[in-house]
């Protein structure tokens, strides 16, 4: 019985080349996360120190209101199909939690810590570097963790617009009514998502321990 | 020693005087500080006392320019602080606050060394300085330097806050209710330790507190602020005497008497005649001077401990500043006026045969200090 199941899984795995698709899937996901960090952190810091910062949050909030599948399709006229719109959608969709949490983290520091920084003669930049940014890291990590979960979902969804990845295999399973393929791919994607979330969660916990402000 | 590589920017190495001249500051149309003028001498500890909202903290923050006055000037050694860049000005003065403001993600040594780090002092010099500061505030460097603030008790955190304020060896220390968040026992302990530390520092200290006991214990002079203005200024004993003719001052000091229930019978029940009197800090007859503090210590049974110092025999005028039954402690203040030694007691028989000058009954003390109201 178990031997049969394993045989089925390995047949499906080899036939649909799930190893390669996993590799592509994680590359798409990794690229998206990297871009989210590169764009989201500076945006979040800017939003945290600039009075006009909340404008970004407003814009990202509007993007967030578009259903993810609609966002994917809306991007096709701009970026064509495939990897580009998938990554773009993942980035656009996941920026909000990172930017918002970074901004919140920077602006909710205990006021006396800022006051002490000023009283010690620190410049605004030193206060940002030594006090505000480190202490916002637990919240930033929480935002990134949310972004990880969002991105994993959108990269999978990208399968329907030709982004390949594991979403493509899932799509193939649905169109061919191949229940084994659907189950194997679905469970595998789920497992990957749980792993990514666990890793992000550990980072968040570490940063909370290291930089958390137990009041 | 020069701990700040940028020290040249700071126009003074020590404080000769600080003048607050007609300082006025209002927030949302109501005055926080109103036409406040005050001269602080270099080397003294001046305690600013007053009720909440009397303008103590605002005054303190106008000195290091965390708040800019609407009117008036702050002069340090006759240089207006307004003419000095805030960053430079603030690096020339230590700042201690009630909430300690220790950065939770940095170790004790990183917190203490922070003022030096931002002044680009070399690491080995910072490490040396941190160790000596930890010793100064009586924390073992090896035990504490790698800990995080969350691993410290409230009292230890406050010591670290003090050490950080002293890191650049500043000639001026601003303290805003530093012991306010501590429990009474610990507060008394730290106050006494702080008096010791202060002896080694010889710097000017401006100390904000709403605790009149603390002000009288620590302050060379005490300034009572009321609704943003200076109401009374003087040495603790000056104020005690002035309180007889000053209802507000009397009320302020009198409040403490009530809160410490000075007239409760605890004292008379517990005192033993053969266990009289005083533990005096480094007191010798020639060392006694006006405003010298003498601390009476009672044990948990209420018995007084220590031998009565020679210097207090009959000739030295003393006033009881406060008496604290919860702490079994009293502070005597030698005054220039008066000719009596006041001994806190309500039974003259208990001290007969002791050569301690005049015995004044509790009621008399009350009268002496607070007029005839009690």
Predicted confidence pLDDT, tens digits, chain B (374 residues): 444 444 446 778 889 999 999 999 999 989 999 999 999 999 999 999 998 889 999 999 999 999 999 999 999 999 999 999 998 999 899 999 988 999 999 999 999 999 999 999 999 999 999 999 999 998 999 999 999 999 999 999 999 999 999 999 999 999 999 998 888 888 888 888 888 888 888 899 999 998 887 887 788 899 999 999 999 998 876 776 677 677 788 777 754 432 222 222 222 222 222 222 332 333 333 333 333 334 444 344 433 333 334 434 333 334 444 444 333 344 443 333 332 233 444 334 444 434 333 333 344 444 444 444 33
Distance of CA B154 to the CA centre of its chain: 18
Supply φ then ψ for residue B111, to 5 degrees: -65, -45
Q: pLDDT at position B282, please?
A: 30
Chain A residues with CB-CB distance to B114 below 8 A:
120, 130
Distance in Å, alpha carbon of B19 to nearest chain A alpha carbon: 20
B70's tokens? 């609407």
Contact (Cβ atoms closer than 8 angstroms) between residue B118 and residue A120: yes
Q: What pLDDT is stored for residue B241 in this prediction? A: 66
B97 contact A CB<8A: yes
Identify from A110, A116, A140 which residue to disrupt to test chain B contact, counting B C-beta atoms within 10 A and taking the largest count.
Answer: A116
User: Which of B104, B126, B149, B170 should be substituted to probe chain A, the one whose Cβ sees the most A Cβ atoms within 10 Å?
Assistant: B104
Q: How many CB atoms lie within 10 A of CB B77?
A: 15
Q: Which pLDDT does position B9 carry in this prediction?
A: 67
β-strands B204-208, B172-176: how paired?
parallel
Within an 8 Å CB–CB cutoff, is residue B114 touching chain A? yes
Nearest by CB to residue A214, choosing from B97, B150, B164, is: B150
The total of other beta-carbon atoms located within 10 Å of residue A111's CB is 10
Q: Are B333 and B291 in contact (CB under 8 A)?
A: yes
Query: How close is the nearest chain B Cα to the Cα of A147, in Å?
Result: 25
**Residues of chain B found within 8 Å of residue A118, distances taken between Cβ atoms:** 66, 86, 90
Q: Cβ(B303)–Cβ(B271) under 8 Å?
A: yes
> Measured between CB atoms, does B151 come within 8 Å of chain A?
no
Residues in A touching B66 (Cβ below 8 Å): 115, 118-119
Q: What stretch of H or E contains A42? A: helix A18-49
Instruction: Name the percent of chain A lying above pLDDT 90.
Output: 73
Interface test with A, best of B3, B63, B101 (most A CBs within 10 A): B101
Nearest-angstrom CA–CA distance, B342 and B270: 19
How do strand B204-208 and strand B45-49 relate by DSSP bridges? Answer: parallel
Q: Which of A105, A111, A115, A121 should one mutate to test binding to chain B, selecting the residue with the greatest count of B CBs within 10 A?
A: A121
- The dihedral through the CA atoms of B240, B192, B325, B156 has a sign that is positive
Cβ of A112 within 8 Å of Cβ of B150? The answer is no
Q: Report the Cα–Cα distance between both ends of chain A, in Å, rounded.
A: 56
Which residues 6+ apart lie within 8 Å of B353 measured at CB? none
Model confidence at A160, pLDDT cuts 50, 70, 90, reads confident
Closest-CA residue to A93 (of A35, A22, A50): A35
Chain A: residue nearest B148 by CA?
A210
B75 SS3 class: strand
Q: Rounded CA gap, A108 and A113, in Å?
A: 11
Instruction: Flag whether pLDDT at A19 surpasses 70.
Output: yes
Interface touch B104/A135, C-beta < 8 Å: yes
pLDDT at A137 over 80: yes
Q: How far is A132 from chain B (nearest CA, A)?
A: 10
**How many residue pairs from chains A and B have C-beta atoms closer than 8 A?**
57
Residues of chain A contacting B90 with CB distance shorter than 8 Å = 118-121
Nearest-CB residue to A120 (from B99, B104, B114): B114
Q: How far apart are CA B176 and CA B104, in angstroms?
A: 20
Residue partners of A8: CB distance under 8 A and separation at least 6: A180, A184
How far from chain centre, in Å, is Cα B100? 17
Place A140 in a pLDDT band, splitting at 50, 70 and 90.
very high
Q: Which two tokens stand for residue A129?
A: 């570097």
For B101, which of A113, A126, A211 is closest by C-beta distance?
A: A113
Task: Enter the tokens of residue B114.
Answer: 């922070």
Longest dimension (CA), chain B: 66
Which residues of chain A approach chain B closer than 8 Å at the C-beta? 110, 112-113, 115-116, 118-123, 126, 130-131, 134-135, 210-214
CA distances from A165 to A22, A182, A195 (A): 6, 14, 17
Residue of B nearest to A213 (CA): B104
Residue of B258 and A150 predicted with greater confidence: A150
Task: Say if residue A174's pLDDT is above 60.
Answer: yes
Residue of B nearest to A214 (CA): B150
Specify the pLDDT at position B305. Answer: 39
The contacts of residue B138 (CB under 8 Å, 6+ apart) are B159, B193
Q: CB-CB: which of B89, B91, B103 is closest to A113?
A: B103
């Amino acid at each position: 019985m178990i031997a049969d199941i394993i045989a089925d899984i390995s047949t499906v795995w080899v036939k649909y080349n799930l190893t390669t698709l996993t590799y592509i899937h994680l590359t798409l996901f990794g690229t998206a996360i990297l871009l989210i960090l590169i764009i989201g952190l500076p945006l979040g810091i800017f939003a945290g120190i600039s009075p006009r910062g909340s404008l970004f949050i407003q814009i990202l909030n509007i993007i967030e209101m578009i259903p993810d599948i609609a966002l994917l399709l809306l991007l096709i006229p701009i970026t064509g199909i495939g990897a580009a719109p998938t990554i773009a959608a993942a980035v656009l969709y996941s920026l909000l939690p990172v930017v918002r949490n970074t901004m919140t983290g920077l602006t909710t520091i205990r006021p006396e810590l800022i006051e002490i920084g000023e009283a010690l003669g620190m410049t605004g930049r030193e206060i940002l570097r030594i006090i505000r940014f480190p202490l916002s890291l637990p919240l930033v990590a929480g935002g990134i963790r949310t972004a990880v979960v969002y991105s994993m979902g959108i990269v999978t969804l990208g399968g329907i617009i030709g982004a390949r990845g594991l979403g493509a295999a899932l799509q193939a399973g649905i169109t061919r009514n191949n229940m084994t393929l659907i189950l194997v791919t679905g469970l595998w994607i789920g497992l990957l998502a749980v792993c990514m979330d666990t890793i992000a969660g550990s980072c968040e916990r570490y940063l909370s321990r290291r930089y958390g402000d137990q009041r | 020693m020069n701990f700040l590589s940028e020290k040249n920017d700071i126009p003074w190495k020590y404080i000769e005087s600080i003048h607050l001249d007609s300082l006025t500051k209002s927030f949302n149309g109501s005055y926080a500080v109103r036409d406040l003028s005050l001269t602080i001498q270099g080397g003294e500890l001046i305690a600013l006392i007053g009720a909440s909202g009397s303008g103590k903290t605002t005054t303190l923050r106008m000195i290091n320019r965390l708040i800019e006055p609407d009117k008036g000037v702050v002069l340090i050694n006759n240089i207006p602080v307004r003419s000095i860049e805030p960053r430079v000005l603030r690096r020339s003065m230590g700042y201690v606050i009630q909430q300690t403001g220790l950065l939770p993600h940095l170790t004790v040594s990183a917190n203490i060394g922070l003022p030096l780090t931002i002044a680009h002092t070399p690491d080995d010099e910072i490490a040396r300085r941190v160790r000596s500061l930890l010793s100064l505030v009586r924390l073992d460097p090896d035990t504490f330097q790698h800990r995080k603030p969350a691993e410290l008790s409230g009292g230890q955190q406050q010591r670290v806050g003090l050490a950080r304020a002293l890191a650049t060896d500043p000639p001026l220390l601003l303290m805003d209710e530093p012991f306010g968040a501590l429990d009474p026992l610990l507060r008394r302990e730290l106050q006494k330790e702080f008096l010791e530390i202060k002896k080694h520092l010889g710097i000017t200290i401006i100390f904000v507190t709403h605790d009149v006991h603390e002000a009288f214990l620590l302050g060379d002079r005490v300034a009572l602020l009321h609704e943003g203005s200076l109401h009374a200024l003087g040495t603790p004993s000056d104020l005690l005497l002035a309180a007889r003719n000053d209802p507000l001052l009397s009320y302020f000091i009198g409040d403490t008497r009530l809160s410490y229930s000075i007239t409760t019978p605890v004292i008379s029940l517990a005192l033993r005649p053969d266990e009289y009197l005083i533990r005096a800090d480094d007191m010798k007859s020639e060392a006694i001077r006006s405003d010298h503090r003498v601390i009476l210590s009672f044990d948990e049974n209420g018995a007084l401990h220590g031998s009565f110092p020679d210097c207090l025999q009959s000739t030295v005028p003393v006033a009881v500043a406060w008496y604290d039954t919860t702490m079994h402690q009293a502070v005597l203040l030698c005054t220039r006026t008066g000719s009596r030694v006041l001994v806190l007691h309500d039974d003259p028989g208990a001290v007969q045969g002791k050569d301690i000058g005049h015995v004044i009954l509790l009621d008399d003390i009350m009268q002496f200090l607070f007029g005839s109201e009690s």
